[in-house]
Amino acid sequence: MRDGSLVLDRRFKTWNFLYYDSNGKRRTKRIGTVSEYPNKKAAWKAVTPVQHVAETRNTVNVSTLVEQYTTEKMPQRYSTRRSYLAWFKNHITPRWGNHSIADVQARPVELWLKSLTLSPKSRVEIRGLLRILWDFAMWDDAVPVQRNPMELVTVKGASKRLHKPRSLTVAEFQKFITQLAEPFRTIALLSVCFGLRISECLALRWSDVDWLQCTLRVERGIVRQHVGEVKTTNSERLMSFDSELLAVLKLWKQTTQFSGSDDWIFASPVQIGRLPWSYPHILRVFGKAAKDAGIAHVSTHTMRHTYRSWLDSVGTALSVQQKLMRHADIRTTMNVYGDVVTDEMVRAGSKVAGLALNRA
């Protein structure tokens, strides 16, 4: 049995052997370079076996596991990585960091989660990361393979929202956009007419628009000014423009100083066009516009919730709504299955655009 993990440091192109000493402390040993050992199999042959006494199993502490998981198995998508690191830093490591992973059992974890002043959804996220740590510990042979104890932990109200999603009526939306200057008015219109997440809307480039075919391709997202993939594979889709909405976007293209094919549609002048407007700035602009319009608070995600409500109001079939919302599973939309044709999606999208543009 190999008592450790062999990892390639891509920055320095070296093979490093990671293991734990008898005190459960993580150690690293440099094996050699890629030029010396061109593949993992060759590097393994050069590893000096590190023997652990049997008693050291189950004694690896959570802080060590978090550090090793972050190095070896952490998802690379920026938004996911960022949220995982926050949960580790703010909750898991302060409570369990000095404990052995074997101490992280169902009953104490469930009681701890109940004591946290967090939403059920947040507690589910923490439970999920503890489950991942247990799986990682078994994968790394730090503990014997067994049933993951986090499967026994329940979180009351996990499927319930603490706050009802906020959607705007047509009248509220019209009041709202009258308070928005460009490009924020166009950002709101695109978001509400396509149900875009703000990360998708801000990551649009002019090359994503096909003016002849009247289509928009959503193929990337931007979170905290880090460009990456869209949230799910279903989120990446070709969408049809309403002709009047396309005219609004064309007017903005004629107005902005950043209108090249590779430019961001909503490029920030502050960043000299190198990046789009930031999410925090959009959130502040939307909040002020809602206040000036005399309506309740509006967040960027309110546009997506509004889109879903308006699809209902114009009589869109649930199967069409799933496609337009770009949900992988229709249960995310509303527990109904079915299929649709493209023409139905175009007509539904055009009806929603008519509401946003106040078309009679």
User: E strand or H helix at 227, and its extent?
Assistant: strand 226-228
Round to whole Å and give the CA distance between 342 and 72.
43
Centroid of chain to Cα 52? 39
Q: Is 226 exposed, middle or buried (0-12, 13-18, 19+ CB in 10 A)?
A: middle
Evaluate if residue 28 carries a pLDDT over 90: no
One DSSP character per residue, 2-62 reads --SEEEEETTTTEEEEEEE-TTS-EEEEEEEETTTS-SHHHHHHTPPP----GGGTT--BH
Strands 5-9 and 14-20: antiparallel
Evaluate if residue 45 carries a pLDDT over 70: yes
Domain with CATH 1.10.150.130 in the chain: 57-162
Domain with CATH 1.10.443.10 in the chain: 170-356
> What percent of the chain is modeled with pLDDT above 90?
42
CATH 1.10.760.10 fits 57-162, yes or no: no
Cα separation values, 200 from 100, 219, 231, 237, 305, Å:
41, 8, 9, 11, 15
The Cβ of residue 22 has, within 10 Å, a number of other Cβ atoms equal to 11
Residue 338 pairs with which residues in a beta bridge? none
For 253-272, what is each residue's pLDDT tens digit? 999 999 999 999 999 999 88
For 197-221, what is each residue's pLDDT tens digit? 898 999 999 999 999 999 998 888 8
Do residues 215 and 345 make contact, with C-beta atoms less than 8 angstroms apart? no
Q: What is the pLDDT of residue 54?
A: 35
**What is the CATH superfamily name and number for domain 170-356?**
Intergrase catalytic core (1.10.443.10)
For 322-334, what is each residue's pLDDT tens digit? 777 776 654 545 4
Q: What is the pLDDT of residue 356?
A: 86
